[in-house]
Structure 1
Amino acid sequence: MRRARRVIIDTDPGLDDAVAILFALSCGRFEIVGLTTVAGNIGIETTTRNAGRLLALMGRADVPVVAGASAPLRRGGIEERAIHGDDGLGGVMLPAPQASPLEGAAAWMAKVLTEGAAHSIDVLALGPLTNIARLVLDHPEAAGRIGRLIVMGGAIDEPGNVGPRSEFNLACDPEAADIVLRAGLDTTLIPLDVTRKVRAGRDWLSALRASGGRAAGTCADLIEAYFASSGGRESRPLHDPCVMLFALQPALFAIDTRDVSVELGAGADAGALLTGRQDGVALRVALRVDAAGALRLLADGLR
């Protein structure tokens, strides 16, 4: 029997965050140490409440929710209410949280990482990197104890989704992204280059709903809301679940090493990943994916 991976999920739920979290809760392959929340897709009160609602749905009040950064380090944030709805979950009804959230995500992560064996806990980052940057700045020794840091963020050869070259998570807090990517952690980036290829189509969604189960049915509802927000497109990319899929089955992804830096200007490409510059740092980046295999793994875990 495979040993469950110990993980902290840093998140801003968010429709695709919610699908990723439900997969992690239902697949039996993760030991979730806690959910830390950050403002991103929507404000911190809503992302924190949504994390608690997802845990309540799955009967997991034992997993703590820890509220983190309510704003980027140095600039205003970006919200995506048009995609995720005012409640962050497209109007999908979930039970109320069963426990009150804790406060202080960076300090909580530092405590947990210090108490555990070094490199025994992975961090799965689904939102802006503000909490993790604060961990690096305020608790560098604890940050160095992270096992793997797997980040959904950025675009290499693909165009951006909030600017010509910038992706939402990194664009929300470019300074935080720069700090984290330069921190010397065991980091893998999962950019739009692969997440746009892992797409939920209507047939896949129908099969997921028919498979039964609480997580599968709720994810089908969440993805339906995702379709509705896009004007009825025939498929939608599942960005954040790719982090969980890579954590479990890296062979689904082809990894290249690229020298990257983060655009820290004030223009439309703030937060964009720049390649080939002298100030770049070598990072592992997923650039190709077995999309069919990824969708199979996701559906199997949700069932």
Structure 2
Amino acid sequence: MPSLAGYAQQDAHEYYQALVDKLHESVTINKIIEGPCKCFFHKVFFGRLRSTVTCSACGEQRKTDDPFNDLSLHMEIQQAVKKKEKITNAAGDVQRSAPTLQSCLDAYTSKEKLLATCKTCGNISKPATKQLKLRKLPAILCMQMKRFDTSTKSESHKIEGKVDFPLTLDMTPYTTPHAATQLDLTSSSPNSTIPHSQRFVYDLTSVIVHKGSLDSGHYYAYCRESHHHPQNPSLQPPTDTDGPTMTREHWYLFNDDRVTLATTQEVLAADAYLLFYGIRWLPPMDPEREKMLAERCAQGSGAKHRVDLESSDSE
């Protein structure tokens, strides 16, 4: 990727976006795409974000959907809120000094006031609200904590500090009423075996950390290896004497050419820059389709297999 060549510090977030774009290009080259892209990489890495602008005078709503492959969350505002809470409750019990990922998502999907042109009100500017919600969710959800403030050249700086993030994240509160995952339509009966309360549950898979300043520094990553298969009991690890299934999983620290084991506590204590969550439940594939793909794989028909993964996606 020529845009990332050279010896200057490169941004991990920009690298992720460039990598996904290149992967997407690799399966859509020489293809004419009309409407939302239906390729495999879009289903894995891309979601759809709905923006709803509501006129405060008449209630008219204007809805638009746009693709996304990551959510960029403002953490500085949430840090200020937590500092205020800590001062206000200084005489009370121990207070959380760090904002949470959930509070950042709450802020991202909260209503904001603005002025918007309303056709119902005669194409004049009226007070309105705008709200973002997730219309479709990808299998791999990337979230960026906005640590590099370059809004003004003279005051550019890196935002330090901790954001508490969970091992398990339920994205349901941030979705539209009829939200779905991008992979739902690979099944003949979407979500038929997925518990409703578990449809948008994600598990933490990777954490990217930046150490250094705005102009220089170093990236390293924590990545999880798991042998937990909630959808296939035959692949489950053995149970302990008390009954519940034990999940065999390990965290690894990738730091240049060094790879070492890491603890869960070490991962959760990291000052995250990028967070990657993988969806816990995937919809089952139609049995006939699964059989056909298995036969083609056995025959070495890789190209046909790739095309067959591009399922229809009606809206």
The answer to whether TM tops 0.5 is no
Higher helix share: 1
Using the size of structure 1 for normalisation, the TM-score is 0.28
Using the size of structure 2 for normalisation, the TM-score is 0.28
Q: Which has the larger radius of gyration?
A: 2
